[in-house]
Chains A and B, each alone.
Chain A
Amino acid sequence: MELKDKLMSSYLAFEEQVDLENDIHEVRNKAIKFFEQSGFPSKKQEAWKYTSLNSILKEDYSIFPKKEDAIDYKDIKKYLIHDIDTYTIVFVDGIYSSHLSRTTHDKLDACLMSSALNKDKYKPVIDKYFNKIVPEDSMSSLNTAFAKEGAYIRIPKNIVAEKPIQVLNFFTSNEAALMVQPRNLIIAEEGAHVQIIERHQSLTDHPVLTNSVTEVYVEKNAEVDYYKIQNDKTTSSLIDNTYIKQERDSKCSMHTFSLGGKITRNNLKFYQQGENCNSVLKGVTILEGKQHVDHNTLVHHTQPNCESHQDYKGVFSEKSVGVFNGNVLVDRVAQKTNAFQSNNNILIDDTATCNSKPQLEIFADDVKCSHGCTIGQLDNEALYYLRTRGIPKKEARALLMFAFANNVLSSVKIPEIKKRITKQIALKLGVELGFNL
């Protein structure tokens, strides 16, 4: 059976598991209809021109994973930022794992979407925020249709979350391919601060397809720092749809570290809806083999005096493919916008591919917008220079790649993440870490 047909028939089974009286179900019904009409995205669509999902859609995915397989903390420890105190929300095959998690309701909510969707006390919040900034597109709609579980994080007014919150999705499915659709909702109310780390990690060699949707609300004067660590096995693919709404005087930064996976698509959309917003989108992508990462970003400036800063770096070897499609949209009223976009890529091998496509649509006349993209090779002269100082070829190449990625890493606010990413990059490049940039 085609995956689409399988999903459609699964929806009927899904309806038996959820409360059909809940208002949310109307939203789901609408979403599945949209998906039924539109189907999976194809390369014929402009936004998917360089990324084909065909190779991952042919798997016979299990849509409803069985009960959580027993995994221990020791199995997942290395995927956690464990050297600092954090809240953690852990899902195993899409199902919440209480013994691996440390959730909270003290001052702030770091808990489960399933509770938020079903418990009466959360109803006003869900009515106000759920599915309010998710555009009607096929992958997001598919997620909405099956929306049931994920992370629910709410930081009330003027609360600063003292610990970062980790949202972790592990996959253990032993028998079959697995498809999961986490649905996250994050709300930083007026003046609130929070740091979030998200990771998807397969512990099995069976194919995994994740189609996740995350809504992030950054209200007046609030601040959200978000880190996505994408270093999954080459049997796993991820379609990440993250939508961020910012109100006046708010700040939001998103760092995406794409070092693994088979196909990764990051749909990252920022909607600035107040004056004096600041949005930061940064990414480091280092790929090899046949890995494929597609960053599709949007910053929509709808109000005056806002800033956005996009900086994506990519290093591609062997037959890997990188795509950057960066959109900046400045409405007519959004005067004094300051929008910066940069995408720099290094192709290590002739067989690697990179598609870089900046798209700027500017309707205001008093703005500062700049963009630049480059595709090049490692500088041989620099390589030679480093080697004459006793640094062997492999290490010299690694050092240059680190240096290249460094200004993306420099804005990471959690030192443990910086350390972790640096180590992962070193591991990926096959060098021992002798430098600390």
Chain B
Amino acid sequence: MLKIKNLHASVEGEKILKGINLEINPGEVHAIMGPNGSGKSTLASVIAGNEDFEVTQGDILFEKANISELSPDERAHKGIFLSFQYPVEIPGVSVTNFIKTSINQVRKSRGQKDMPANEMLKKIREKSALLDMDRKFLSRSLNEGFSGGEKKRNEIFQMAMLEPKLAILDETDSGLDIDALRIVADGVNRLKTKDNATLVITHYQRLLDYVIPDVVHVLMDGKIVKTGGKDLAKELEEKGYDWLKEERAEMTS
């Protein structure tokens, strides 16, 4: 589904990603772990099409098509979704109207008509219940004054509404207490099918207790330095990242 080949990216001239290779197949859950500043969020942004980052080398293929030149909205139309680490507050736009606009724009890009109002309403009800969201929440301005947990729940709600093929969860566990984490993780798990894929980006192993990855990658200094199964996450939790740094230093020397 997603194939990243030798991806280099920089922001304001500073090289952040230095040759990433990654392949994710339908039905898989991948986790990318790594210390702060290793380039995890950059990778998420680059896949989503953030124009602040410049891809200097390499390709991103999504369902065999090169998407490197596509805008964020065009990538969303193809079925890529990014759950933000820090969702943006937009006063004056209600959650409901935002998600309606979003869904209908995606439909439009696929040559479909607007979703009928009753169908939309039904879907909103169903998906907000899945995330245990208060009805009042839906008429509030997007993310404005939301708690950290509410913001993340709102992200997963949008994901549930848009039903992406590839969902990238960027530090979705940060700012969540254990109850909120369970609700969010539960939501993510229930949205999983054999046809979609999830890329979980996290510093801590905590979320991976709930969203079990098939593959775990460790990102350091802009490169994937180790790939393994779900046990690798546990190992990192116990041993931290330093042993990997040392291992790498030995390898390069």
On A, residues with C-beta under 8 Å from B are: 379, 381-382, 384-393, 395-396, 399-400, 402-407, 434-437
Contacts and interface: CB of A to CB of B under 8 A. Distances in A.
A384 B84 CA distance: 11
Interface in B31-60: 48-52
B102 A391 contact: yes
A390 B73 contact: yes
B92 A390 contact: no
B218 interface: no
A405 B103 CA distance: 23
Nearest to A410: B92
Contact of B93 (A384, A387, A399, A434): A399
Interface in B73-116: 73, 75-77, 81-82, 84, 87-94, 97-98, 100-106, 108-109, 114
B92 A402 contact: yes
Given A392-B105, A435-B101, A387 B90 contact: no
A437 B92 contact: yes
Given A399-B101, A436-B97, A387 B92 contact: no
Given A387-B49, A388-B72, A389-B73, 17 more contacts: A379-B88, A382-B89, A385-B90, A386-B102, A388-B48, A388-B49, A389-B105, A390-B77, A390-B102, A392-B73, A395-B105, A399-B93, A403-B92, A405-B92, A435-B100, A437-B93, A437-B97
Contacts of A396: 73
10 contacts: A390-B162, A391-B102, A396-B73, A400-B90, A404-B92, A434-B100, A434-B104, A437-B92, A437-B94, A437-B97
Given A435-B97, A435-B100, A436-B97, A390 B109 contact: yes
Contacts of A395: 101, 105
A224 B106 CA distance: 43
Contact of B88 (A382, A391, A435, A436): A382
Contacts of B100: 434-435
Nearest to B101: A435
Interface residues of B, number: 36
B109 to A, nearest CB: 7
Contacts of B77: 390
A382 B71 contact: no
A404 B92 CA distance: 6
B81 A388 contact: yes
Contact of A387 (B52, B72, B91): B72
B93 A393 contact: no
B104 A393 contact: no
Given A399-B101, A434-B101, A435-B100, A390 B93 contact: no
A388 B168 CA distance: 11
Contacts of B106: 390
B128 interface: no
A407 B73 contact: no
B113 to A, nearest CB: 12
Nearest to B108: A434
B158 interface: yes
Nearest to B102: A389
A433 to B, nearest CB: 10
B101 A388 contact: no
Contact of B71 (A385, A393, A402): A393
A387 B71 contact: yes
Contacts of A385: 84, 87-88, 90
A342 B72 CA distance: 34
A283 to B, nearest CB: 16
A396 B93 CA distance: 11
A431 to B, nearest CB: 10
